[in-house]
Structure 1
Amino acid sequence: MLTDSHIDRVVQLALDEDAPWGDITSETFIPAETQATAVLNAREPGILAGAEVFAAAFRLTDAATSVDLHMADGDHFTSGATLATVSGPARALLRAERIGLNFCQRLSGVATATRAFVDAVHGTGVHIADTRKTTPGLRAFERHAVQCGGGRNHRFSLSDAVMAKDNHLAVLTARGMSITEAINTARSRLGHTTSIEVEVDRLDQIEPVIAGGVDIIMLDNFTLDDLRAGVELVARRAVVEASGNVTLATVRAIAETGVDVISSGALTHSVRSLDLGLDMALHGA
């Protein structure tokens, strides 16, 4: 999903935004011939994500820079660990520093938060998934970070799968169409490889949705008791996904209701970037 070409395109946009006409501070203070080495250090423990994105920031700034990655995406690191070493023209290192850090700190934060959710449901057989509540333009990056943390990805975009939510159902109801009829009509228009998911917010909606032959049913903002009742009603006739107000404090109890998947927007929209630092020294200093 996260290709080299996509990394380069997004990172270049970030570099252009940060220094549209060059880095006047470094160009004023640092002689052009100055060489330096910088070390990426972890100031707190976490899960690494965005290592190649970090490297791209320096590579795209100056091809003469060299990035040695000491850990790979998905690796756990402790506070004080050395994650990467960068060498090359000091001006290039200073210009790329903030962009490389911004990406790596943000993505490692997503991966670390995801791992906490995955660990919280360990042993239940439930999968943790993200949502489309991602930073505009950075979806592929953040989805990659979720995978690094052991999570799974929901549909990538509106083009990937049918997912009828409450607003879709409200429009259909206003037109006098039943949920079952709407699902059957949608199925007739789709290829055999396209799945259908429908979101419900009441127990009485489950049977009409199942009657339409959905692949996945999302139980949205259900209480724990209603989740258990919903799982029993579905009776393995569809994949059951729970969503809505999922937190690290509640995710284990949700998993124990018997659902198959728990999706949480918090994995991408509410995470804290990890504290990583880039410490620089001149060659020969």
Structure 2
Amino acid sequence: MRKEAKTEAIAELHEKFSRARVAVLTECVGLEGQEVTELRRRLRGVKAELKVVKNTLAVLAAEGTPMSIAKEHFKGPLSLAIGYDDPALPAKILRDFIAQEKRDKKMRVTLGMVEGILFDAARMKAVADLPSRNVLLSLLLARMQSPIVGLVGTMNGILSNFVGVLMAIKDKPKEESMSGATAEKLSKEDFIKMIEGMTVLELDDYVKALQERFGVTAAAPVAAGGGGGAAAAAPAEEKTSFDVVLTNAGEKKIQVIKVVREVTNLGLKEAKDLVEGAPKPVKTSVTKEEADTIKKKLEEQGAKIDIK
């Protein structure tokens, strides 16, 4: 690689490392081209990407970025899944992708960086099991609604008490009384900014801590506004992968077979068998965007499609 090209490659990677909220290091040997393409599509759907990097360039690019803590691990055949938004979602996609079709023989997670913290493979699996950021926010609000509303009658009181709880949970032993916790009063805007600035890991910690401190459960958060309200169910985990199922090929089977071949790279015989054997999945574990695109193409040819 020429010096100019090397400099550009390092600068590009440095910019990506600087923006990364999560980066999962994987050893990847033997994946087929279409499998790599499929993984990249899934990652794009959650504002992430797959990069195959040269270790020497990655070490240089990591300087001054959150990825600097991982640079000593840039060894061997390295692929990086870099995420720029919710850290849990790329981890989920990698977990599900590797679990399918015995890909654990071809790809494995070695470690990861999550919001500036280095995690080993076991802890990255735990990150993949986290709810998405939106779900955690919903759970956090659900935790707040029952006990704190019952304890405090005004918005300022709620904010003061909640911030005091966070401080007490974070800084004091569990045995200590809450009465000594102090917190300045916040405006609504300050409170929202405080929550907005929390990382996924912090949100998860606070959700669990509030549950333990106040005995609130995800299954039964009480609605704000008084006792006796109906319990609300816990928010469902945000779905990141979908299956496209051909339920009926319709009358234009030849055109449907052509579309199936286009979106799956199947051979003529395999695509024909799939279409004639409906209902059958056309493609599984794809992003919502890709699922909608495939559905539209097939429905234009008269086929009936379900997305699951």
Q: TM-score, normalised by structure 2?
A: 0.25
Q: Which gives a bigger RCO, structure 1 or 2 (Cα 8 Å, sep 6+)?
A: 1
More helix by share: 2
